Structure 1
Amino acid sequence: MYRAQRYDEAVSLFQFFFKQSNIVPNIVSYNFLIVSHCECKRVDVGLEIYKSILAEAPFSPSSVTFRHLTKGLIDVGRIGEAVDLLREMLNKGLGADSLVYNNLIKGFLDLDDFDKANEFFDELKERCLVYDGVVNATFMEWFFNKGREKEAMESYRSLLDLQFKMTPATCNVLLEVLLKYAKKKEAWELFESMLDRHTPPNFQAVNSDSFNIVVNECFKEGKFEEAVSTFKKVGTKMGSRQFAMDVAGYNNIIVRFAEHGMIQKAEEFFTELKSKSLSPDVTGYRTLIDTYLKDQRIDDAMRMFEMMVEANLRVITAYANRWFTELIQNNKALECSQVLTKMGERDPKPDSSTYEIVIKGLCGGGVFDVCLNMVGQIMKYGVGVTPSLREFLLQVFEKEGRRDEIERILDERRQGNFQQSYSQPSGFARPAGPGQHQQPVGPPRFRPPTGFSGSAGPTRYSGHPEPTGPLYQRGYPEHTGPQQQRGYPEPTGPPQQRGHSEQSYPFIGSR
């Protein structure tokens, strides 16, 4: 929910799992709660949660806790309190965290207080043997925005001179800043040095985001062949190894080719993805289905939709309704009913609006027996028939002289005696008989929490959108590694907040 920017729902989930269900939260759970409130400008609520951790929890706040809180305070113009929180972090013995310092440095730079920002930078360098190069990226961007290109590049070169062993998260931020301000030569040199230092399992110097940044730059310049060669690029130094590309990297290049109308190349990479023993996710399927529909390749869109459902991937209501509508308009109502039947065999069940689209499409095509089957599925799964759909069905079947059949299906549910009493075409699942009624499985719908809810407003939007904007505005997990090996890391924000756990930097510490 946090990654989808559905912050109020993230707060509600915390309430459901850790208050109503009595599951014991850990500091990672609390950090998600704190950052969700801070993103909604409810920083005082976040501070109250922090105080409750100090007073009641059997664990202490982590450096990530202070990252979220300092950024939240700075975002609402309370930088003085953020400085106090930094001092509190140091007094608790957590050590100097580069990303907390970076929040303050960026905050003072945004206020054009360069001297104060530089003062905190000097303090960080005094306290740490090695600091995160994201701090230099923050200074670089500020210098570039002020037209002070020479000083920006001096900051970059001073970081390289230190020869820190930088992780992909840090280098990716530097890559984006360099490309954003047309320092392409330096950006490509940095990327190639990352490839040379990629020596897993000893050290992972690149990740799929690294490749996505430079591949996207190739597409931006219209260099499609170079994008492909970059996608497969390997370091040249002894010991360097090829990066094992993950699904996110394949998704990116598939989307880019699709955006440029090069569907054949997108299909090639989709096929290659499957050949690598990787499983395509919603993004890959959605991209191809949308492109096929746009190009009026209806059979290909239908085939890909079926593959997606057979892969046990959830099709959210917005996508399902749009695809079913377009496919039915192209005379694929019967095929759509088969796909929807497969979707209904798993939880969560399709939305009632999805069933309504397909049912009306079947009626429009005169496939009334299959339509009866779909209505039976709605009743069997307890999805529900809207008043408008009920009225539509009664009118349509009355014209066909079969009103009694549809009424019997619609009414038997109410009488607690739902059973099959309509013609059943072959190839479709029979609805449950008496005593076999299935209730939808899944967590109960939860209400907004009573605790830590602050002044929660409406959810911003639903669904699971892909991350947008420059990479340095997105988050990185604290632990790096192939995407398919990552779990559910703590949330992070822009490069100024991003970080790595101290496990990622065993040599970082206070002097």
Structure 2
Amino acid sequence: MKTFGPSPNVRTYTIMMNFYCTNHSGQQPKVDIKEAYKILKEMWEIHISPSAATYSVWVRGLCRVGCPDVALKFIRMLRYENQPLNSYCYNAIIHGFCAEGEVKKAISVFEEMSNSGITPDICSYSILVDGFCKFESIDGGLCLIQGMQENNIKPTPISYSSILKGLCEIGAAKIANDCFHDLTNSGCKVDQTAYDILITGFCAQGDLSSAHELLEEMINNHLAPDASIYERLIRASCHAGSADTAMKYRNMMVQGGYLPDTVTCNFIVKQYCTDGHVMGALNLIDEMMDQGIVPNLYTYNVVINQLCKDENTEEREGRVLEALHLIDEMVDQGIVPDLYTYNVVVHKLCKDINAQKALEVITVMLKRDMFPNVIILNTLIDGFIKQSYFKKANMFYRGMLKLEITPNVTTYTILIGMLCERKKVKDVYRRRKVKKAYTLFRKMIREGINPDKICYTSMIAGLCGIEDVNKACALFREMQKGELLPTVVTYTCLIDIFCKLDQMDEAKKLLKMMVRQNISPDVKTYSCFIDKFCKLHRMDEAEMLFDRMRKENISPDVVTYKIMIKGYEIVGNSDLAYEMTDEMRQVFNIPDNSI
């Protein structure tokens, strides 16, 4: 145009300047204020007078790069030189100050605009209303709405949307609803955005009935709810714990021509599982696939987790098989199960004392080029130990080391527990195993893995079992130095061995220490003392402890009763032995011929 004609005019230059002053929705170029200024400067140099529209574009560009103060100085200079200005110039600066939270400066520009003879328009008011609601006060926004009406400027949906949003954000959805209906009754046009804001507000407050009323009102006013409104209602219903209500909104959404995305469906799947209605979740997954909505890893993991949580003994095996079937279905869908998926199933199988089946799952994992992590291997090792497959458990521990999978505190705790808690074996064999556990215990510390209170307690229990009191007490002190509070089990292990070794003073010291640390003795703790007193023929002290237990609401168990009965028999008090036996039968519903 410059070379061959026609020559660019003020409109051409304004269009070019607008291009450089506009953010193109993430595309390049963004606001290039230097290029925009070159165009404005060129207009001045070739004596093309910029119009009010040109200046408004330049001012808007300055505000978009965060320079509303510079823009204000510029229009003041223009006003001084009697250059053309319009409301767009001032609105851009008002918006610029509001965007930076400088609402007082925005008000000042608004007043300056009025004083300079340019009447604020609907856009001027709407920008200020939004600024007040975001950064100042909603009351100020309402005053501006009132000012608009006094100046015969009818508020638009944009104007009052800011008020409604502000009220909803401070948890005043009911006031927002009243304000909305006051505005509509005064003749303001109702739009979908306002309903969206109000429904969102009520959903955030958990007021689903009010949200539903607005949905029905919206439909009655011939405004079609969009996908986002239904999604909010679905999520709010799930948060309220009603998967059925969420499904109702999902069906309405589909009837309205919108397919919910996978994330929205996942909310309902999760809620069905939380409610224990896993079949509802499985049916929804089938429905999703029929509609072309692809379930993702999260969808399947939620359902698999719930299937493996089911404690119904009649359906337990079927639930686990269903979980394994879902893993195969995931693979068929091209969804790669993660370690969490497999860990849930392996944990369930091991919990159900089926470590062999869990091992088959591990084999499938390996075929799919997925290696188990320390959590899965810990679960498997624990499962084999519970089934007394100690060699296999040890084999997997060695396998961890060969695969360079670092054992963690849980691994060591499981293995130490295995070595320390094996009962009904010869003393020599047991002593050897406990020593092996102690070596393992020290190894984990050397490797920088700090034992937790469970690990310490297992080791202390093992040492007490072979009457190595010195090492057990040393670990107890080490535990306290490490600021790990011993548990009632820890104390009971030590009290039991001191009682057995006739060191009653030490046992009593530990009992007092427990009380000082607010650790309540349990039935096993008291039974240790009662058993020793009975063996020493000190039945008065045994009876005193037995009564103390009941005063502290600790119910004696069958073992405690049998200890007392045997104690009475030892001292030749058959009457009290008979009374205690009769009491035990009544408390535990034991038939006469079973004792």
Q: TM-score, with normalisation over the residues of structure 2?
A: 0.39
Higher relative contact order (CA 8 A, sep 6+): 1
TM (norm. structure 1) is 0.44
Q: Which has the larger radius of gyration?
A: 2
